[in-house]
């Protein structure tokens, strides 16, 4: 059975969900993406098994926002119920082919969720807390990073669909996998307001530096936007030797796994990474990360540093909020 919102049209935009698509092997998945047609999206899937990172789900859901109609071939894989439970069909505006009993997701995963304002962001942050399985003082810095990444979408991406967020906890490895995707103007156009960049990949690497934000040329950013969200999330992946990727326009930057804990480097070029500038054009930004929650010393130290930055950011925002004009 094929589910479609426009059965009479042959689609040109296509994407294939393979049997495995995680950050380490995400390149083949992205390479199957054909962005030619903005009218119809055709989705195909592996016929036996599908196992994917939340960022992959977010990207497929986000593509559904960009077209008028979606066609998805009959899913025969044994893991097909996963697409229903993670609410992919809801995002694609299609009826689900499966009827399932939804058990409580708390502490296990966050299904595909759209965030378009501060209230929806607060709800996602509330759901992330039990997913982290960390003490409150350690969970707060990660919540802050997620908040900053989503706020960047809401304030700078000009994405009509907001941010799409999805996450899953893996108890065996004590790891959370997180995806945040938008279909806005992309990093290059966003950062060009304040910085000169040559291409999408250059813009990505510049955005990964601390203190760089599209809101100002001033080093260190502003009281509202320190330009550190992407740097911090890359740093967490680096010290934990975890996968991290960011994809925007034709460019993708991906951390490669180190055998030993990495030093924190402000210049993304110095990290052990791969980069590409020849990918199908993604209108917006896709960020994916795995976060190992084991309490290693570098991880704990970094969380403390991020926590201090968070406290300072909140203090500055509160100070500005209560500044009012005085009339004599």
pLDDT-derived band at 318 (thresholds 50, 70, 90) equals low
What tokens appear for 322 in the block?
A: 């209560």
Asked whether the predicted pLDDT for residue 226 surpasses 80, the reply is no
- 3 has a pLDDT exceeding 90: no
Rounded Cα distance between 141 and 293, Å, is 13
Is residue 303 within 8 Å of residue 142, measured between CB atoms? yes
Task: List pLDDT tens digits, range 68-123.
Answer: 889 998 899 988 899 999 999 999 999 888 776 667 788 899 999 999 999 999 99
* Tens digit of each residue's pLDDT (9 = 90 or more) over 233-263: 988 888 888 999 999 999 999 998 776 655 6
Taking residues 254-277, what's their average pLDDT? Answer: 82
Q: Which one, of 46, 169, 178, lies nearest residue 112 by Cα?
A: 178
Provide the pLDDT for residue 294: 85
Residue 9 has pLDDT above 60, yes or no: no
- Per residue in 57-67, pLDDT (tens digit) is 999 999 998 88
Between 325 and 42, whose confidence is greater? 42
Task: Report how far Cα 9 is from the mean position of its chain's Cα atoms.
Answer: 31
| Helix (H), strand (E), coil (C) string for 25-54 | HCHHHHHCCECCCCCEEEEEECCCCCEECH
Contacts of residue 3, Cβ cutoff 8 Å, sequence gap at least 6: 70, 71, 72, 89, 94, 95, 97
Give the residue from 85, 159, 55 showing the smallest Cα distance to 116.
159
Q: Give the pairing of strands 3-4 and 69-72.
A: antiparallel
pTM of the predicted structure, to 2 decimals: 0.86
DSSP structure string for 56-73: HHHHHHHHHHHSSEEEEP
pLDDT at 227 > cutoff 60: no
Tokens of 3: 């589910």
Decide: 265 and 237 in contact? Cβ < 8 Å: no
- Alpha carbons 117 and 109: distance in angstroms, whole number: 21
Of residues 170 and 106, more confidence is placed in: 170
Residues 227 and 210: beta-carbon distance below 8 Å: yes
Number of other residues whose CB lies within 10 A of the CB of residue 78: 11
pLDDT for the residue 137: 83
Whether pLDDT at 327 is above 80: no
State the DSSP code for 217. Answer: S
Q: Nearest CA to 283 among 10, 13, 6, 12?
A: 13
Residue-level pLDDT at 286: 97
Name the CATH architecture for the domain at 101-321. Answer: 2-Layer Sandwich (3.30)
Higher pLDDT, 222 or 62: 62
Query: Which pLDDT belongs to residue 312?
Result: 66
Determine contact, residues 257/239, Cβ cutoff 8 Å: no
Give the pLDDT of residue 262.
59
Residue 325 has pLDDT above 50, yes or no: no
The residues, any chain, with a CB within 8 Å of residue 104's CB and separated by 6 or more, are none
Domain residue limits, the chain: 101-321
Local confidence band at 13 (pLDDT 50, 70, 90 cut-offs): confident
Mean pLDDT (the chain) is 83
pLDDT for 221 equals 33
């Amino acid at each position: 059975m094929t589910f479609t919102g426009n059965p009479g049209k042959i689609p040109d935009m296509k994407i294939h969900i393979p049997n495995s698509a995680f950050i380490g092997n995400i390149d083949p998945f992205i390479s199957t993406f054909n962005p030619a047609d903005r009218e119809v999206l055709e989705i195909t899937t592996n016929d036996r098994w599908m196992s994917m990172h939340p960022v992959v789900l977010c990207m497929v859901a986000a593509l559904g926002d960009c077209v008028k109609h979606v066609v998805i071939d009959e899913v025969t894989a044994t893991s097909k119920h996963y697409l229903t439970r993670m609410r992919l069909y809801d995002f694609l505006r299609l009826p689900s082919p499966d009827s399932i009993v939804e058990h409580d997701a708390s502490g296990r995963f966050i299904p595909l969720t759209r965030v378009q304002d501060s209230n929806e962001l607060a709800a996602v942050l509330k759901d992330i807390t039990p997913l982290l399985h960390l003490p409150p003082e350690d969970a707060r810095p990660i919540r802050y990073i997620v908040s900053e990444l989503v706020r960047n979408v809401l304030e700078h991406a000009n994405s009509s669909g907001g941010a799409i967020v999805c996450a899953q906890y893996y108890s065996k490895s004590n790891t959370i996998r997180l995806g945040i995707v938008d279909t806005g103007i992309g990093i290059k156009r966003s950062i060009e307001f304040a910085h000169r960049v040559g291409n999408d990949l250059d813009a990505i690497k510049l955005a990964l530096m601390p203190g760089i934000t599209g809101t100002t040329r001033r080093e260190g950013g502003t009281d509202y936007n320190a330009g550190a969200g992407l740097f911090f999330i890359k740093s967490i992946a680096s010290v934990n030797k975890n996968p991290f990727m960011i994809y925007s326009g034709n460019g993708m930057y991906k951390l490669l796994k180190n055998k030993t804990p990495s030093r924190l480097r402000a210049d993304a070029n110095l990290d052990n990474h791969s980069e590409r500038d020849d990918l199908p054009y993604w209108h917006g930004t896709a960020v994916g990360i795995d976060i190992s929650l084991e309490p290693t010393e570098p991880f704990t130290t970094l969380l403390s540093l991020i926590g201090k930055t968070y406290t300072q950011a909140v203090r500055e925002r509160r100070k500005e909020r209560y500044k009012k004009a005085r009339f004599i």
